[in-house]
Structure 1
Amino acid sequence: MPMNVPRASGGLGAGSGDPLQGPYTATAVVEGKGGICLWSPQAEALLGYPAEEVCDTPAVDLLTTRKDREAALAVLERHAAGQGWDGVLALRHRDGHEVRVVLRVRSVLGRQGRAGWSVSAAEARQVEQEEVDRAILEALFRQSPIPITVMDAELRHRWVNAGIVRATGIPAEWLIGRRIGEVAPEVDFRTIEQVLRHVRDTGEPVIDFRVHGRLPSAPDREHVWSAASFRLTDPAGHLLGMCQTYIDVTDEDRAQRRLALLSAAGASIGSTLDVVRTAQELADAAVPGLADIVGVDLLEATVRGEEPAPGPVDGQVLLRRSGTSSIREGAPEAVYAVGETVAFHPGTPWARCLATGQSVLVPRLEVDEWYAYDPRAVEKIREFGTHSLMAVPLRARGITLGVAVFGRSREPQPYDEGDLALAEDFSSQAAVCVDNARRYTREHTTALALQRSLLPHDLPDYPAVETAYRYLPAAAHAGAGGDWFDVLPLSGARVALVVGDVTGHGLHAAAVMGRLRTAVHTLADLDLDPDEVLTYLDDLVVHLTQEDPDCEGATCLYAVYDPISRLCTFARAGHPSPALVQPDGSVEYLDLPPGPALGLGGLPFETADRHLAEGTLLALYTDGLLEAPDRDVDTGLDRLARTLASPDEPLEQLGEAVVAALEPECRSDDAVLLLARTRGLPADRVATWELPVDPAQVARARALTDRQLANWDLEPLAFTTELIVSELVTNAIRHARGPIALRLIHAQVLLCEVSDGSLSAPHLRRARTSDEGGRGLFLVAQLASCWGTRYGRDGKTIWAEQPLSPLGA
């Protein structure tokens, strides 16, 4: 390898950071005749020759080629004493491979003149890398726009680059030798020093820790820096200091905080369909992240649920303070209290906002000019130092609903366009929620009157089931619907669950629904089986369609649950099958005989029986619950099943969850959801006896009844109950045929039932004075709170109920 042209002395090693003066530099001494007389351990590490092997040998023998050796000797001969040269040569390693080496040769003078040469060497690749590293560090510290500091072990500035001077506006000479808290007390220097101590003591770098504060050059602006710190050591591992870099991420941090505020606002605003509550949620969401004080004022029409006129609001109008929030407890700086009527003068910023429909930004608030317009507001602003504000209209679907006013008092930085954009996002989101709430208020007011007149006012607590319901009216444009439901008590502690849907909308559908519901009540009192109930309803709808062509039919699901046998019997007429949720949470849609819709006429209805474990949940619903423009019915069924798979959740909460999961953005049909969780009547609350057809059994029946009532601690009912049992058993023995059964049920009332094998109907009549009998059912009717007869396949059952507390007690 040819020898490079030697460079003049001072080139490579000039200045600080000389790569040939480090602890790993190889050194050797060559005597005047060219032999090596001194060989350092670093030289041995570089070329592999031990000192005893290389000393007293010609130095030029280490060169790899003869040409290089001759050239080196010629160059040395041409240089006078006191001079030296630098260069890069290829030397031979002990194992035979070449090593490119940077050499520095200097003459060594003795008393007689030149005595030899001092040679310093380092591997060329290492030297070149150190040159690159040094150039990078030079550029980083002197040219980098990123602020960089070096702190000593006492946390004082030891070195700073131009970037830190530009960023802080503090001269470098003022920084050197001082701690951060001395030069920038408004910066969170305690956090920085805590990190510096950690880095100094552990050697672990800390990356991307956030520092907040204000600089002396801009005391009104809050900055955020992303800082990093790492320890600096020399090759021996001794501490030189800690290096820090600072990147201003103020804009990024503000953007992230704004995004977080918007996300939080989206989760908190509009949680209810209440206009005033939604306005308060807007105020709460903006404090303290965006404002120190927020007031939300809605037009009176908005609060009432009416639709304000489209476009901006001109002239002096009345509003109502609907939401206020402040960083100060009780919002003392608020001009108006929630619920108070507000009238804005045209000269104020919030009045201009309403009049133009555009946001108003006031970075520096000067209130003197409109003191005469609203002195009350001006006094509050002066008292609490509100210095910057924004007024943003609440507009949704082309309608101005009100105005939101945001103010700053404690935060010194004035509002800017970025803050206004965030406030507009807040207000736009809230305006949609307010408008939804307003629409709901209007629709709810109309639907509520209809619901109160045509649907159950409340659901009593029956021993057979725990129930909850949701009636969801259709959107205002769709008109009132014809969905209905009922939970009806039946004899024997049983209960009937009914859900129906009249085809069509409007008052006509609601009227048909009312007639069908009345008919169901009447048929339920007759204790008919579910399929018989639907048959009679079908006949009624056929007659209604003949009378009125606008009547388009209906669907219905009728179920009867017995808490004693835990048997549930279903029948449906063109209605969706109910969902059944087992106590373990598994959900299924019952496969019931479909049955024709009501009004077709002439077609039979079938029943299906299902034994239900205690705690089983039944969900009866109308098709409006599942239908939505953005999904099909199967998707609705899947969502309903997933939501219902929480059998232990309270029914009211479960109903809300179902509505939330299935509620479309705009409901085109009303919907009903009826939830029923089954209960079982304990065996010790039911007593049953078979009685032979023998008049002597009447006395036994009374005795059995007396003992059972004593077991139930119902002795006060013994006299009347014995009379009822005596009359019913006597009638069964005398007028019917066996088998005869007596059953007592201790539920919310005391039920007495006598069953026989006859299908003949009992008749209540008034006996003449001379008649020896005929007074049995009359006595039962006088002693019982209610009584009746139900028929089965094998006979009939006459039942009578008594309240657990005797009348007049």
Structure 2
Amino acid sequence: MGSEAEGGGAGSAAAGPVAHGGRGGEGAAPVESVAPPAAVLDERGTVVGWTLAAERVLGYRAAEVVGRPASMLVAAKDPDRALAWWTRRARSGRSWSGTVALRAKDGTASSAVLEASPMARDGGRDWFVTGIDQFGAALWPPMDTSAAAALMARSPVGLSIWDTDLRCIWLNAAAAHQDDLLGRQRLGRLMTEVQPGRSGLNIVEAMRQVLRTGNPVIEREYTWQVPGEENERILSASYFRVDGADGRPIGVCNMATDIDKSLARQHLLTLGEMGSRIGTTLDVVQTAQELADAAVPLLADYVTVDLGETVPLGAEEAAGGEPPLNRLQASPEGMPIFRRAGAASSRRGMPESIWRIGEPVYVPSSSPFTRALYSGQTHFEPYLDTSPGTWLARDPRRARRITQLGMHSLVIVPLRARGNVLGEAVFVRHDNPLPFSRDDMLLLEELVHRAALSLDNARRYSRERTAALALQRNLMSSTLTGGAAVELAARYLPSGAHKGVGGDWFDAVLLPDARVGLVIGDVVGHGIHAAALMGQLRTVTATLADLDFPPEEVLARLDRSVGVMNDRNSTGDDAREGGDGPGPMMTCTCAYAVYDPVTRQCAIASAGHPPPAVVLPGGTVLFPEVPPGPPIGLGTMAYESVTLELPEGSVIALYTDGLIETREADLGAGLERLGAALARPATSLEEYSSHIIGAMTPRIWRQAGPLDAAGPIAGPLAADDDIALLLARTRVLTPDQAAAQRRP
């Protein structure tokens, strides 16, 4: 088996010089230097081939073992039993590997891991048996020091040697792992046999080029199809020529790295995974918390996200909640520069945290936190310096926590977006003994950059939403009165969706003879423009109602007035005066009802608005058929009204579509749910309105509890759309009582 003609098959080149019946391989020296110890056995366990490498390891010459049973090489009490086991294995035709105790010629015994691969030949099958060491690497190359051999064998980079025929003659454990199920079966095979198709041909072409020129090929990417796997792997390989002692090429070394498992690719995958979890809403606090949660425990053991004054944490400013940071006094701990928006820890109870979410964060005037904030540059301290004389001497509370919990590595990354520094993200390690690396820092910077953009979007949205809410509070009536005619209760929940606050409104107008006009409307659109349009429409509607027109006439005149305003906007007057162009078009749905406590009659007209509901004193719920009419702003001015006669104590319910429409249910289903909610009586109209909101928005109700009844705008900002509800419980008056009433 000194050549393919003699031994046939894929194993001969891998085995190096192989002797049959005492014949030594011709020209063996160069190849021997890169050959693993190997032998060829037949199906009966007879040695039919022996390599010089095997002679070097066990001491037997080819003439002493070829033609004899392999049991002579096994250090076992019953060699014949071992030979019978091999015969059964050989008949199965499957590759095999295992640990075997071998006996050398000098009588010493040692354990070795052997791998056997089938080799087809005419009339039967031989077996190519290769010895590998305890680390899983083929026993190659013979080196002057065992340390060098172990270094190559245990290298995390896949190393393989291919001879001048481009057959694999050696590979380490990492390369075998890249082949997965194939393992070391690539030994003795051509590259095109290991990797058929275009990929294998490209690798062969690169190897031949290296053999011919001696110039290495560095980091060439290629696909590697592992048997049994559907997806191809992507590897990066470098090829170097291996020369013998005489300077002639004896093979090619292949160094391959699985790109899918490389550090850079893992960072990209990690960044993509964590980035997808940040910025799912336009809520500042939730976005900050998502950043902290994404980094723990994968990148850090403790993370805080602290924001500056330019980023409000919610609607507390509009509600008169937490005072601004610039109005807080300094303390011995430092200046109140941040407010905590998010935090996460790998430890239960977050023992690292000194401040809770929403609280001001104090930092010394000279510290990494202030330097990072004002410079906009990352503070990278892989080994946290806690020696005397550092900034921690001026921050004893932090110093104690750092010492108690063993914090040893710190990264502070400014939250920068669109030229503004919004705050800082602080990353700490204490449970993880490894310090932050430069690669970790780069990954954290990219993650924080993505989060900063989401925070800036949330900041802009929050500011506009807060302004719209403030405008809506000022434009909507702060006190509602139904006079002697009705008892009133109202609720308004601003939208929590990304599209922003809408233009829902309600109002009550006292009319002559103790009558009362009830209005509810919904401006098309969201944001500060919708709130401003709502204010205009509410003013116009209240003015028309005060003129004591019937409901259908009020809607018709409102439609005409809005049409005139839209015509003015569409002419581009703003552009001629230096503005940006025509103003926003104004349109809305609206319902207007007039109740007379003397006749107990209620006249209602609708401009494309959801139908009103009437709850009779006995609990019966009615949805009167009111001609819907077109929305306000289309210029049709065609509306009709219906008149109902209501028993004393009836409840008129006017609402906007946000109460009954959801993403999961249509209008019909919403009306059924509203009817069920209205059918539950309540002694107090305030309790009744809270019950209706709670029944129609259970998610919001569970999260925040009963709504504040102190004013018309109340409750959490979490509805999918604005919700407005106006309830009026009717009273009955005599003509004399009505005449005695005076409008304010």
TM-score (normalised: structure 2): 0.44
Larger radius of gyration: 1
Q: Which has the higher contact order (CA 8 A, sep 6+)?
A: 2
